[in-house]
Amino acid sequence: MKAWLGLSVTLIIVVAAAGAPWIAAHDPLLADFAAGLKPPGTPGHPLGTDQLGRDLLARVLYGARLALFIGACTVIVTGIVGGLLGLLAGFVERWPSAVVMRIADVQLSFPFILLALTINAIVGLGLRNIILSLSAAGWVVYARVVRGEVLSVKQRDYVHAAAALGVGRARLLFRHVLPNVAPSIVVVASLQFSQFVVAEAAISFLGFGVQPPTPAWGSMLSESRDFLYVAWWLAAFPGLALALTALGVNLLGDWLRDTFDPKLRV
């Protein structure tokens, strides 16, 4: 049941994102001052327009592309960085484990916005900032989970057997441990994906959002605050899209976890 719901919702979002240029009748970047803040149902603008007259439906659809892009990039970056560090920490243990865990602690203990601001000072606002900031905050989960998984896989019999047979450390890591840890990485990735998409909204709220006029759900939601009492649709539709995406991907991730490794605690 969960799987069907998750899969179908996610598919809808992906299709909408891919098909944006054909489904949307307008250019999401085209400003038409005279048509600002029109409500949903206006001819030609089924979801209404924003303050600069841009079609909301087009912006929501193109926003799906960006959401998926941000989610995917962040997941890949954090997966690789966190995964590698976690593998190292779990496999070698002793001081690499302590070092990685303490770095994680250091980073978790200071405010996320500091990361965003520092990155802002280096690369400026925009997409790179978002992906870097989210990655910087997100790798920790991977590292922790992967480390835990590696620690437990290491105890398994076949690993002991392989070691007894004289298999080299590197080979042990990549041929025996990694394949068994891989499913958990995938599961974490899917669960983190939706988190990152939502986190983009928080970053935009703090002022570090995507550069205009690029449509991104988070920055659209953040901008909609100013228009809450005059144009509810500016907050409603991006918010709905965000919630649905998070729901779909999350349910999918849940199903993945239930299938591969129900014991996995994320």
Partner 1 sequence: MRRYLLARLAQTVLVVFLSLTAVFGMVRLTGDPVLLFMPMDIQAKDVEEFRERLGFNDPLAVQYTRFLAAAVRGDFGDSLRYRRDAFGLVLERLPATLLLAGAALGLTLVVAVPLGVLSAVRRDTAFDHVGTVVTVLGQATPGFWLGLMLIYVFAVQLRWLPTGGMGTAAHVVMPAVVLAAFYSARVARLTRSAVLDTLGEDYVLTARAKGLAETRVIGKHTLRNSAIPIVTLAGLEAGQLLGGAVVTETIFAWPGLGRLTVQALLNRDFPVVMAAVSFTSIVYTLMNLLVDVAYGWLDPRVRKT
Partner 2 sequence: MRALELLVVAVALVSVAAAPVLAQDRSRTKEIVVGLGAEPRTMLGVTIVDWTTNNMLEHIYDRLLDRDAKTFKPKPMLATEWKIVNDTTWEFKLRKGVKFHNGEPFTAASVKATIEYALDPANKTHFTANAYWGPIKEVQIVDDHTVRFVTKQPWPNLVDSAASTNSLIMPAKALKELGPAKFAEKPIGTGPFKFVEWRRDERLVLERNPDYWLGAADASRVTFRFIPEFSARMAALLSGEIDVMKDVPPHAVEAVERSGRAKLRSTVSSRINYLALVNLKPGPMQDVRVRRALNHAIDVEELIKQVLKGRATRMCGPLAPTNVDYAPVECLKHDPARAQALFKEAGIDPKALALTLDTPSGRYPLDKDVSLAIAAQLQRLGIKTNVVVNEWGTHLDKIKNRNTGDMFFLGWGPALHGQGTMPPLFLADQTYSSYGNNKMLDEKIARAGTLLDPKARAEAYAELQRLVQAEAPWVFLWQQHDLYGVTQSVEWTPRADEKMWMYDAKIVAR
Which residues bind to partner 2, rule: CB under 8 A? 31, 33-34, 36-37, 51-52, 117, 120-121, 124-125, 207-208, 211-213, 225-231
- List residues binding partner 1 (CB under 8 A): 1-2, 98, 102-103, 105-106, 108-115, 117-118, 120-122, 194-195, 198, 201-202, 205-207, 218, 221-222, 225, 228-229, 235, 239, 242-243, 245-247, 250-251, 254, 262-265
Residue type, 32: D
Helix (H/G/I), strand (E/B), else coil: 213:
coil
Least CB distance to partner 1 at residue 133 (A): 12
DSSP 258: H
Q: Which residues contact 171 (CB under 8 A, 6 or more apart)?
A: none
Largest Cα–Cα distance of the chain, in whole Å? 76
Prior bond to 111 cis, omega within 30? no
Contact, 146 vs 82, CB < 8 A? yes
**Partner that binds at residue 36, options partner 1, partner 2, none, CB closer than 5 to 8 Å by kind:** partner 2
Rounded to a whole number of angstroms, the minimum distance from the CB of residue 31 to partner 2 is 5
Q: Which does 212 bind (CB under 5 to 8 A by kind): partner 2, partner 1, none?
A: partner 2
Q: How far apart are CA 75 and CA 189, in angstroms?
A: 6
Six-digit token string for 112: 């996320």
Backbone angles phi, psi at 55, to 5 degrees: -65, 125
221 interacts with, out of partner 2, partner 1, none, CB within 5 to 8 A per kind: partner 1
Choosing among partner 2, partner 1, none, which partner's interface includes residue 34 (Cβ < 5 to 8 Å by kind)? partner 2
Specify the residue, 178 or 202, whose C-beta has the smaller distance to partner 1: 202
Q: In whole angstroms, how close is the CB of 143 to partner 2 at the nearest point? A: 30
Establish how many alpha carbons lie within 13 A of residue 180's alpha carbon, considering only the half-sphere containing its beta carbon.
Answer: 19
Residue with Cβ nearer partner 1 (24 or 47): 47
148 binds, among partner 1, partner 2, none (CB under 5 to 8 A by kind): none
Q: How far apart are CA 116 and CA 103, in angstroms?
A: 18
